[in-house]
Structure 1
Amino acid sequence: MKLLVRNLARTTTEQEIQELFSAHGTVTECTLVLDKETGTSKGFGFVEMPDPKEAKMAKARLNDARISKNKIRVKFAQDKEQ
C-alpha cells in the first residue's frame, strides 16, 4: 500500500522517513518529492508498504505525530488516473 506523508519539515530526509515507518513494518520504497529547480524537499513524500495490515497500523500511529516540530499527516495515496 502506498501512503502519502504530508507536512514534513523541509529538512527531513528519506532515511528519517524510512526509519520512522520501518518501526511499524516493512518499507519497500520511500520517496520525498523534490523541487525540480532547487532540489529541496517540497514537504511531502510517499512510503510503500507491501503488507496492508502494517500500512494501516503505520497510518493510525503516525498520523498527527510530531516529527521535527511538524505535525505530519499520513493518508492512503491515490493512484493518478492515466
Structure 2
Amino acid sequence: MKLLVRNLPRTMSEFELREMFKKHGEFKYCKIVLDEITGESKGFGFVEMLDEEEALAAIAAEDGKKFGKLKIRVKAAE
C-alpha cells in the first residue's frame, strides 16, 4: 500500500523518513520528493508498505504526529 506523507520539514532526510516507518513493518521504498531545480525537499514524500494491515497501522500511528514544529499528515496515496 502506497502512503503519501505530507507536511514534512524541508530538512528531513530520507533516512529519517525510513526510521519513522520501519517500526511499523517492512516497506518497499520511501522517497522524499525534491525540487528539480534546487534539489531541495518539497515537503512531502511517499512510502510503500508491503502489508496493507501494517500500512493502516502506520497511518494511525503517524498521522498528526509532530516532527519539530510541523504536524505530519499521512494517508493512503491515490
TM class by smaller structure? over 0.9
Counterpart in the other structure of 1:72: 72
- Contact 1:12–1:68 (Cα < 8 Å) also in 2: no
Report the alpha carbon displacement of residue 6 of structure 1 after superposing the two structures with TM.
0.1
Per the alignment, in what secondary structure is the counterpart of residue 57 of structure 1? helix
Report the alpha carbon displacement of residue 68 of structure 1 after superposing the two structures with TM.
2.3
TM-score of the pair, normalised by structure 2: 0.97
The answer to whether residue 42 in structure 2 is matched with residue 54 in structure 1 is no
- Contact 1:7–1:73 (Cα < 8 Å) also in 2: yes
Deviates more, 1:64-73 or 1:42-51: 64-73
Unaligned runs of 5+ in 2: none
Percent identity between the two aligned chains: 55
More strand by share: 2
TM-score of the pair, normalised by structure 1: 0.92
Q: What are the residue-to-residue correspondences of 1:36-51 with 2, within 5 Å?
A: 36-51=36-51
Distance 2:16 2:26 in 1: 15
Q: Runs of 4+ in structure 1 displaced over 2 angstroms?
A: none
Amino acid at match of 1:7: N
Per the alignment, in what secondary structure is the counterpart of residue 5 of structure 2? strand
